[in-house]
Chain A
Amino acid sequence: AQSVTQPDIHITVSEGASLELRCNYSYGATPYLFWYVQSPGQGLQLLLKYFSGDTLVQGIKGFEAEFKRSQSSFNLRKPSVHWSDAAEYFCAVGSNDYKLSFGAGTTVTVRA
C-alpha cells in the first residue's frame, strides 16, 4: 500500500517570502507524485507532477518541487509568495498498482 503525510497542517508566510511545503510518502517502488492546490470554494487544480527523469519539477504559478528518493519526500517550493497563493495544498502519490492517495492538506495563509 502507499500513503502520504503532510506534516504541516497550517503555514503562515509573509507576502514576498519563500514558501516550502513538506510531503513524505510511503511506497516501495517509484511513485507518481502530484501537488494540487485548492482555492476557497474551488476544486483541486494540478500544480505539477513527477513521473520520472529530472527530480526537480517545474509547475504552474511559479511553483517547483523536488523528488528525493532517499528521504521519500516531494517538497513544494515557491521563492516569493503572492497573496493569491493563499489556499490549501495537497500532495498525492500514485502508482500502477494503487489508486491515488492524498495527504490531509496544508493550509497556507499569506499576510501582507
Chain B
Amino acid sequence: ETGVTQTPRHLVMGMTNKKSLKCEQHLGHNAMYWYKQSAKKPLELMFVYNFKEQTENNSVPSRFSPECPNSSHLFLHLHTLQPEDSALYLCASSQERELGTDTQYFGPGTRLTVL
C-alpha cells in the first residue's frame, strides 16, 4: 500500500465510548499531523509529531490523546467526546517538520460521528 492510510474510514461512537483512530504513512516521512475538518471551516491543526516527538499541541482538549510509536504510525485516542467533536479527522505526513513550507500528504480521513 502507498501514501497515507487511515482506519477506520467511518466511526460512530457514544459520548462514553473509548476508540482510537489509526494512521500509517508509507512515504518514509519524518513528520506526521492530525487535523480536524469541519464543514465550511478551515482545517484545524491539532497535533504534530516530528521523529516521534510531539512538537505541537494546538490547544486541543484532553479528551483527544495522540500517540506516535514510530515515524510511520500515528494514533488518536478518543474518550468522552462531545457531539461537537463530530468531524472528518485527517492525518498527514511530510518529509520534515517544516510546518509552513513542506508539502503535506493527506490520508482519506476518518468520518467521526459522536452521538
Which residues of A pack against B, CB within 8 Å?
A: 4, 9, 32, 34, 36, 41-46, 49, 51, 90, 93-105
Beta-carbon contact of A104 and B42 below 8 Å: yes
Please name all residues of chain A whose beta carbon is closer than 8 Å to the beta carbon of B103 when the two chains form the complex: 34, 46, 49
Residues of A within 8 A of B45 (CB): 99-100
List 8 A-B pairs, minimum CB-CB distance, nearest first.
Answer: A94-B100, A43-B106, A99-B99, A44-B106, A102-B43, A102-B42, A95-B100, A43-B108
Majority SS at the chain B contact face: loop
- A94 in complex: contacting residue of B4, B40, B99, B109, CB < 8 Å: B99
- Chain B, residues 16-57, CB within 8 Å of chain A (1/0): the string is 000000000000000000000000111101001000000010
Q: Which residues of B contact A44 (CB under 8 A)?
A: 90, 92, 104, 106
